[in-house]
């Protein structure tokens, strides 16, 4: 299973953090620091896999954002790359040519999409279309209620 998924910028600013195991707040901060230091310190054409404690770390850079996840030792690293890629595709489809700013200003939506894709550290839906439809439907639910209340969402 995936233990955590982090998104951070080239300067080490955290844009998203998803934890699938209970970790104390201080420990979370430490892990984020370790991940950003390790990943940002990698040479440009290195392989995308690292070892950290007893976890496999898989990371990929998309434009200015690093997607970094920690996996159990028996997970398939190559498939993890595909998982990260799928998440990026989903974000891209939702936002239309997604960029870091989209994720900064709409972080809650990035979380909603992630929560439709992964659950408990495992992939829950393998079809892009099905997933997009669920998100759309949820959004509709939200907007309907907001329109009813005649107030904008946030």
Cβ neighbours for 92, distance < 8 A, ≥ 6 positions apart:
98
Stretch that binds another protein, among 48-56, 63-71, 90-98 (CB under 8 A): 48-56
What's the CA gap between 4 and 70, in Å, rounded? 5
Stretch that binds another protein, among 62-70, 91-99, 128-136 (CB under 8 A): 128-136
User: In 3-state terms, what secondary structure has residue 139?
Assistant: helix
Applying CB under 8 A, which of residues 19, 95, 99, 102 lies at the interface with another protein? Answer: 19
- In the chain, what's the furthest Cα-to-Cα distance? 53
Question: Are residues 66 and 9 in contact, defined by beta-carbon separation less than 8 angstroms?
Answer: yes
Both tokens of 73, joined, read: 């030792």
Stretch that binds another protein, among 9-17, 61-69, 91-99 (CB under 8 A): 9-17
Q: Which is nearer to another protein, 83 or 91 (CB)?
A: 83
User: In 3-state terms, what secondary structure has residue 25?
Assistant: helix
53 — phi, psi (to 5°)?
50, -125
Under the criterion CB under 8 A, does residue 153 sit at the interface with another protein?
yes
Applying CB under 8 A, which of residues 22, 26, 53, 54 lies at the interface with another protein? Answer: 22
Query: What x-and-dash track marks residues 90-109 binding another protein by CB under 8 A?
Result: --------------xx-xx-
What's the CA gap between 72 and 1, in Å, rounded? 6
What's the CA gap between 120 and 19, in Å, rounded? 9
Q: Which is nearer to another protein, 99 or 123 (CB)?
A: 123
Binding site for another protein (CB under 8 A): 14-17, 19-20, 22-24, 29, 43, 45-51, 76-79, 81-83, 86, 104-105, 107-108, 111-112, 115-116, 119-120, 122-130, 134, 137-138, 141-142, 145-146, 149, 151-154
């Amino acid at each position: 299973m995936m233990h955590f998924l982090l998104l951070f910028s080239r300067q080490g600013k955290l844009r998203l953090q998803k934890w699938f195991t209970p970790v104390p707040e201080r420990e979370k901060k430490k892990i984020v620091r370790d991940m950003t230091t390790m990943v940002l310190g990698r040479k440009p054409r290195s392989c995308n896999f690292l070892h950290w404690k007893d976890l496999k770390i898989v990371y990929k850079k998309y434009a200015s954002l690093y997607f970094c996840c920690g996996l159990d030792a028996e997970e398939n690293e190559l498939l993890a790359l595909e998982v990260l890629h799928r998440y990026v595709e989903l974000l891209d489809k939702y936002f239309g040519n997604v960029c870091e700013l989209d994720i900064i200003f709409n972080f809650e939506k990035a979380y909603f999409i992630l929560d439709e894709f992964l659950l408990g550290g495992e992939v829950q839906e393998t079809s892009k279309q099905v997933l997009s439809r669920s998100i759309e439907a949820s959004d509709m639910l939200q907007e309907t209620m907001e329109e009813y209340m005649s107030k904008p969402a946030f």
